[in-house]
């Protein structure tokens, strides 16, 4: 009976809804919608993301208008097609909507950036991935209580297509998360996260892992793909699983080999900083060492500039496959070494350049991994 009530509620709700299409999804996918609403996807527009807003305010404008919509607010068609940017319900509540992501049919590769190719959203045929299912699934009902009760077995709102390979290998994300080249053909994001079939990890397995909770109220399951997008915003501890530390003692200090098991460089976005902190516990005293900063400083003529002006990196200490970090303090027998890897959404210097120094949330140190080693 619960499923029947959900079905009736959904039909009534769909008939009355004209904006914020993702709210439709909430009726059958309440857990997933709650995660989505706190995600970086929902907060991608200038009205939800203060860093993006500050960048856009400083970006040189032309007749094209708002040119970031392709990835930051593709669900706002006025913004996407005409470059017009207004504070509306779509920009605030679903700049990258559920429907938009689940109708990405293919990825068109480009020199400056890639482009998502979407199927007709009005057909309500959505792509998703589940290894045990193949083909397209349409709505149908099953009967119980000698035919007196009919309950929906699949979605009464949309068809489901389980055959799109890009949803299994993670390349569905590559329309926006591959590369972004400026007018100097210089990549300002340094993700280069193309997924190969031999890779153990993908965008989906790392950032949308299976966690407890049903993916749909109509058809209950034990787990679902996390739609909050695990990363520097939420569930940062999950990202620590893809980073290893290997410590070697040296005559004049010690070396930390930071191994990155992700498919892309870490901390490559403009003004972002990764920070490796090291401290030694010795004889009940704590010795804090100078942190190592992972960052990529975008420059022109050897001077740091805004991303759209850059044609080189005057500094690049990002973690690609791996990175050696040297510390000059000698480790002694009985020492405990504590390594903490974290990230700041934006460096303090970057926050100052963008006029965001008062927003302490942006420069907060966010822990990804802590490891303790005894010698």
Tokens of 306: 């805004």
Q: What range does the domain containing 352 cover?
A: 236-374
Report d(CA 341, CA 346) in Å as an integer.
Answer: 15
Nearest-angstrom CA–CA distance, 352 and 261: 32
Q: Residue 263 maps to which CATH number?
A: 2.60.40.10
Of 22-31, 173-182, 194-203, least confident by mean pLDDT is 194-203
Of the candidates 186, 204, 225, which is a domain's last residue? Answer: 225
Final residue in a domain of this structure, among 176, 205, 225 = 225
Q: Are residues 295 and 195 in the same domain?
A: no
Q: Are residues 217 and 255 in the same domain?
A: no
Tell whether 215 and 265 lie within a shared domain. no
Percent share of the chain, pLDDT over 90 = 75
Cβ neighbourhood burial of 101 (10 Å; 0-12, 13-18, 19+): buried
Lowest model confidence (mean pLDDT) among 7-16, 27-36, 336-345? 7-16
200 shares its domain with 117: yes
Q: Is residue 80 part of a domain?
A: no
Please indicate, yes or no, if residue 300 is contained in any of the structural domains. Answer: yes
What digits encode the pLDDT tens for the residues 53-72? 999 999 999 999 999 999 99
Q: Does 266 fall in a domain?
A: yes
Shared domain for 212 and 258, answered yes or no, is: no
Q: What's the CA dihedral at 24, 30, 35, 40 to 10 degrees?
A: 0
Dihedral sign, Cα of residue 199, residue 204, residue 207, residue 211 = negative
Question: Residue 19's pLDDT band (boundaries 50, 70, 90)?
Answer: low
| Mean pLDDT value across the chain | 88
- Whether residue 58 is contained in a domain is answered as no
Mean pLDDT of 357-370: 96
Q: What is the pLDDT of residue 331?
A: 96
247 and 156 part of one domain:
no
pLDDT tens profile 134-193: 766 654 545 555 555 445 556 777 888 889 999 988 889 999 998 999 999 999 987 765
Residue 154 and residue 107 in one domain: yes
Examine the domain organization and report whether 170 and 206 are in the same domain: yes
Please give the distance of CA 325 from its chain centroid, rounded to a whole number.
26
Q: Is residue 143 part of a domain?
A: yes
Backbone region of residue 68 per phi and psi (left: phi > 0; alpha: psi in -120 to 50; beta: other values): alpha
- Which is nearest to 176 in space by CA: 100, 290, 279, 241? 100
Residue ending a domain, among 172, 195, 225, is 225
Asked if residue 17 has pLDDT above 80, the reply is: no
| Alpha-carbon span 45 to 339, nearest angstrom | 35
Counting residues of the chain whose pLDDT is more than 70, the rounded percentage is 87
Structurally, the chain folds into a number of domains equal to 2
The total number of residues shown for the chain amounts to 375
Mean pLDDT, to the nearest integer, of 91-110?
96
pLDDT digits (tens, 9 = 90+) for 271-311: 999 999 999 999 999 999 999 999 999 999 999 999 999 99
Phi, psi of 106 (to 5 degrees): -160, 170
My answer on whether 267 and 293 are in the same domain is yes
Strands (E), 54-120: 104-108, 115-118
* Per-residue pLDDT, 121: 82
Mean pLDDT within 244-252: 97
259: in domain? yes
Average pLDDT over residues 77-90: 96
At 18 the pLDDT is 44
What is the pLDDT at residue 281? 97
Cross-sheet strand order for the sheet of 303-304? 303-304, 296-300, 312-316
Identify whether 81 is part of a domain: no
DSSP structural state of residue 247: E
- Do 154 and 271 have their domain in common? no
Average pLDDT of span 108-136: 88
Which band of pLDDT confidence, cut at 50, 70 and 90, is reported for residue 2?
A: very low
- Tell whether 220 and 333 lie within a shared domain: no
Joined tokens for residue 95: 């700049």
In a domain, 82, yes or no: no
38-58 tens-digit pLDDT = 999 999 999 999 999 999 999
Within this chain, do residues 218 and 242 fall inside the same structural domain, yes or no? no
pLDDT for position 123: 84
Average pLDDT for 345-351: 95
Burial class (CB in 10 A: 0-12, 13-18, 19+), 220: exposed
């Amino acid at each position: 009976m619960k499923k029947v009530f959900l079905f009736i509620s959904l039909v009534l709700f769909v008939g009355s809804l004209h904006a914020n299409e993702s709210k439709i999804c909430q009726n059958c996918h309440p857990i997933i919608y709650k995660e989505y609403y706190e995600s970086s996807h929902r907060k991608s527009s200038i009205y939800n993301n203060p860093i993006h807003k500050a960048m856009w305010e400083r970006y040189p404008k032309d007749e094209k208008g708002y040119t970031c919509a392709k990835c930051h607010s593709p669900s706002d068609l006025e913004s996407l097609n005409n470059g017009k940017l207004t504070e509306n319900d779509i920009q605030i509540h679903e700049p990258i909507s559920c429907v938009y992501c689940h109708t990405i049919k293919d990825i068109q590769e480009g020199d400056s950036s890639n482009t998502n190719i979407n199927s007709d959203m009005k057909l309500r045929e959505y792509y998703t991935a589940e290894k045990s299912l193949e083909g397209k699934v349409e709505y149908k009902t099953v009967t119980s209580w000698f035919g007196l009760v009919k309950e929906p077995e699949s979605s009464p709102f949309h068809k489901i297509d389980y055959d799109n390979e890009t949803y299994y290998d993670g390349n569905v994300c590559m329309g926006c998360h591959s590369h972004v080249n400026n007018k100097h053909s210089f990549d300002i994001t340094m993700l280069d996260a193309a997924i190969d079939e031999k890779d153990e990890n993908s965008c989906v397995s790392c950032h949308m892992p299976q966690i407890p909770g049903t993916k749909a109220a109509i058809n209950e399951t034990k787990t679902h793909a996390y739609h909050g997008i695990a990363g520097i915003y939420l569930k940062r501890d999950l990202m620590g699983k893809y980073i290893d530390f290997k410590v070697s003692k040296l005559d004049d200090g010690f070396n930390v080999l930071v191994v990155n098991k992700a498919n892309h460089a870490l901390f490559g976005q403009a003004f972002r900083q990764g920070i490796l902190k090291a401290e030694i516990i010795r004889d009940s005293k704590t010795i804090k060492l100078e942190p190592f900063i992972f960052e990529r400083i975008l420059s022109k003529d050897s001077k740091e500039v805004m991303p759209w002006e850059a044609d080189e990196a005057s500094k690049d200490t990002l973690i690609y496959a791996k990175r050696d970090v040297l510390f000059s303090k000698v480790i002694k027998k009985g020492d405990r070494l504590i390594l903490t890897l974290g990230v700041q959404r934006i460096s303090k210097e970057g926050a100052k350049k963008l006029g965001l120094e008062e927003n302490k949330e942006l420069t907060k140190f966010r822990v990804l991994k802590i490891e303790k080693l005894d010698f």
